[in-house]
Structure 1
Amino acid sequence: MLRSPKDPLSFDSREKIALFIDGANLYGTAKTLGFDIDYRRLLEEFKSRGYLLRAYYYTALVEDQEYSSIRPLIDWLDYNGYKVVTKPVKEFVDQTGRRKVKGNMDIELAVDAMEAVEHVDHFVLFSGDGDFRSLVEAIQRRGRKVSVVSTLTTQPPMIADDLRRQADHFIELAHLESRIGRDPGERAARAAERQDRFARDADPEDI
């Protein structure tokens, strides 16, 4: 259970911990709350709470897309302590003419979690997707603990009520901002650097 906004994490230091991050869901939740995740700080935060066995990050990538805005993040995660799991998905246009992406990473996440159940004491799921309720229940039947990280502070809440009820612990993402959020000044500095680099590389006749 949450102790307070000042101490949002409650772990037994002897526990073996694994993080399972639904990338698209966590990104959307943090964006709604108005901050960016600093994945280096996130990893360090949970390393300080127990023995962190593994941190999985799941995301889908659009097929035949030469450049994806998420690619730099994926590459960084892959080299900095995360196990990145991706799969290709295809874009399509629905009947209303809106572009959509079909596919999610639920099955991949569930399979990895069940394979790890003999080695992990405490699973931390970063997602509010109600489809994971059955997975959480299955892990609990094997005698393991599950915490779910999402938010209730938005309208509507980003976490499904049945998932929150099923979890052993609910961790409010908004209460973690000071611990795992990226410094807003860092984002501004990177944006300025990119703009400066673009200006230097641009054709003088195009400026």
Structure 2
Amino acid sequence: MERIALFIDGANVYAAARRLGWNFDHRKILEHFSATGRLYNAFYYAAVPAHPDDKQKRFADALTYMGYTVRTRPLRENTDEHGDTSRRANLDIEIVTDLLTTTDQYDTAILLTGDGDFERPVEVLRARGKRVIVASIPEMTSTELRNAADAYVDFKDIREQVERPGYRLPREQRAEVTPNGRTEHRPFYLDAALEGSGER
């Protein structure tokens, strides 16, 4: 039986959901992509604020309960030359590390992202005899990544299998004041996957 590993770029998938206008059920994602083989592992990568709240912690716990291995990195604050502040975290290195260090455990890697930075790692995996499937939406997928993969899955084509019906996506800007008085923007794609997913 084919051994499958799933790698989910949380921020990228949530951005795709916002464009599509509907959200994903992460339990259904597991079920859908593991239906053709034996799931070795499912990794979920997400940025977290310096002081995650209870809801964000519950989301990570819910994913773990579903069977995901959750990888996080703290959001880092950057100020540009105009004084505008943004918060971001780059989890590419964690994704690539897991892709390459667990190759003995899977035959097919399913990568949920459209980020062109993964073109070269995908090529390396294929050179090692691994099958790689990329899943995203065309308007957010680099041509190079799509070309490097063995197969491509458009989220729109699997909506019926992976959607969480009736769930309204939260507002993109979620600014909250922390206990020390600082305003902090929450990684809203963490919250989006929580409600109704792992607490049933």
TM-score class, shorter: 0.7 to 0.9
Gaps of at least 5 residues in structure 1 are: 1-13, 189-193, 195-207
2:86 pairs with 1:128: no
Displacement of 1:44 after TM fit?
Answer: 1.4
Runs of 4+, deviation exceeding 3 Å: 68-72
Q: Match of 2:38, as an amino acid?
A: Y
- Listed one character per residue, the Cα deviations across residues 100-148 of structure 1 (whole Å, up to 9, x for unaligned) are 1243100011111111111210000000000000110111110000000
2:153 pairs with 1:171: yes
3-state secondary structure, aligned to 2:75 = strand
Cα separation, partners in 2 of 1:66 and 1:122, compared to 1, 3 Å: closer
Which residue is 2:72 aligned to?
Answer: 86
Q: Match of 2:146, as an amino acid?
A: R
Alignment of 1:55-70 (within 5 A): 55-63=42-50, 65-67=51-53, 70=56
Instruction: Give the structure with higher Rg (CA).
Output: 1
Query: How far apart, CA to CA, are the structure 1 residues paired with 2:29 and 2:115?
Result: 20
Cα RMSD (Å): 1.9
- Listed one character per residue, the Cα deviations across residues 156-180 of structure 1 (whole Å, up to 9, x for unaligned) are x100110001110010011111100
Which residue is 2:30 aligned to?
Answer: 43
Displacement of 1:78 after TM fit?
Answer: 1.4
Which gives a bigger RCO, structure 1 or 2 (Cα 8 Å, sep 6+)? Answer: 2
Q: Match of 1:150, as an amino acid?
A: S
Displacement of 1:62 after TM fit?
Answer: 2.2
Displacement of 1:68 after TM fit?
Answer: 7.4
Q: Does the aligned pair in 1 maintain the 2:6–2:110 contact within 8 Å?
A: yes
Which residue is 2:165 aligned to?
Answer: 183
Alignment of 1:155-170 (within 5 A): 157-170=139-152
Which residue is 2:179 aligned to?
Answer: none
Q: Does the aligned pair in 2 maintain the 1:62–1:91 contact within 8 Å?
A: no
Query: How far apart, CA to CA, are the structure 1 residues paired with 2:24 and 2:120?
Result: 27
Correspondent of 1:73 among 49, 59, 69: 59
TM-score for both structures, normalised by structure 1: 0.76
- Give the number of equivalent residue pairs: 170
Query: How far apart, CA to CA, are the structure 2 residues paired with 1:178 and 1:170?
Result: 17
Gaps of at least 5 residues in structure 2 are: 170-194, 196-200
